[in-house]
C-alpha cells in the first residue's frame, strides 16, 4: 500500500489479486471483465483487516477470547462475521444500515487510513475538517481522527 498514491488504485490492484486467487481456486466460477462493486468492496475490507491486524493485534485476540480491551470498552467494539473490528453502542437500535451503525475501526498511523482520508477529501471537493470528519465517520471510525484531519 505504501507504493500507491490513492486508495482507489490500491483497491483496484488488490481486487485483481483477489480475483486471480479466486479464479485459481474455483475454475468453474471464474470472474472476468471489469471489477464489480463487490470485488472492490472486498478489497477495501481486506485492506482494513490488514491494518487492524497490525495495529490492534492484542485487542482483537482479547475480543476473540471474550475479553474486552479496556481502551475500547467505552466504544463497545466487536468483531463482525468477517473478523473486522467495528464500533458498537446505542446506535445499533437505529434504522440505519449495518455499515453506518457499526463503522470500521481504523488505526491512526496506518497508510490505508491516510489514503482513505485523502480519498474522501478529494471526492467531496475539499471540505473543511469538520465536514470531512462527519463524512468519514459514516463508514470508518479512525482513532484520534481530528489530529489527522488538520
Residue 30 confidence (pLDDT): 95
Task: Tell me: pLDDT of 97 over 80.
Answer: yes
Residue 2 confidence (pLDDT): 66
Residue 49 confidence (pLDDT): 95
The answer as to whether 1 is a domain residue is no
Task: Tell me: pLDDT of 31 over 80.
Answer: yes
User: 23: which 3 cell numbers?
Assistant: 479464479
Task: Tell me: pLDDT of 148 over 60.
Answer: no
Q: Rounded distance, CA 126 to CA 78, Å?
A: 32
CB-based burial, 39-75: b 16+ in 10 Å, e otherwise: bbebbbebbbbebbeebbeebbeebeeeeeeeebeee
The answer as to whether 2 is a domain residue is no
Q: Containing domain of residue 61, as a range?
A: 7-149
pTM of the model: 0.85
Residue 5 confidence (pLDDT): 86
Phi-psi region of 108 (alpha: psi -120 to 50; beta: other; left: phi over 0): alpha
Using the 8-state DSSP alphabet, how is residue 91 labeled?
Answer: G
User: Which of residues 13 and 88 earns the better pLDDT score?
Assistant: 13
The answer as to whether 17 is a domain residue is yes
The closest alpha carbon to 149, from 110, 122, 121, belongs to 121
Task: Tell me: pLDDT of 36 over 90.
Answer: yes
Whole-number average pLDDT of the chain: 86
Burial tier of 99 (Cβ tally within 10 Å: 0-12, 13-18, 19+):
middle
pLDDT in tens, 48-82: 999 999 988 888 888 888 777 656 545 667 888 89
Q: Rounded distance, CA 150 to CA 130, Å?
A: 10
Residue 74 confidence (pLDDT): 53
- On whether the CB atoms of residues 76 and 101 are closer than 8 A, the answer is no
H helices present in 26-139, as ranges: 37-55, 57-64, 70-73, 98-101, 111-123, 129-136
The closest alpha carbon to 101, from 80, 117, 119, 120, belongs to 80
Question: How many domains is the chain built from?
Answer: 1
Amino acid at each position: 500500500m505504501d507504493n500507491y498514491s490513492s486508495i482507489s488504485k490500491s483497491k483496484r490492484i488488490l481486487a485483481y489479486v483477489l480475483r486471480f486467487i479466486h479464479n485459481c481456486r474455483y475454475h468453474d466460477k471464474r470472474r472476468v471483465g471489469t471489477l464489480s462493486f463487490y470485488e472492490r468492496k472486498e478489497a477495501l475490507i481486506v485492506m482494513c483487516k490488514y491494518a487492524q491486524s497490525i495495529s490492534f493485534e492484542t485487542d482483537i485476540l482479547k475480543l476473540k477470547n471474550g475479553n474486552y480491551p479496556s481502551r475500547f470498552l467505552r466504544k463497545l467494539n466487536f468483531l463482525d462475521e468477517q473478523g473486522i473490528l467495528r464500533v458498537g453502542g446505542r446506535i445499533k437500535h437505529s434504522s440505519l444500515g449495518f455499515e453506518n451503525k457499526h463503522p470500521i475501526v481504523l488505526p491512526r498511523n496506518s497508510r490505508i487510513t491516510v489514503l482513505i482520508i485523502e480519498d474522501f477529501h478529494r471526492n467531496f471537493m475539499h471540505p473543511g475538517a469538520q465536514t470531512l470528519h462527519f463524512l468519514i465517520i459514516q463508514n470508518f471510525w479512525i482513532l484520534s481522527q481530528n489530529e489527522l484531519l488538520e
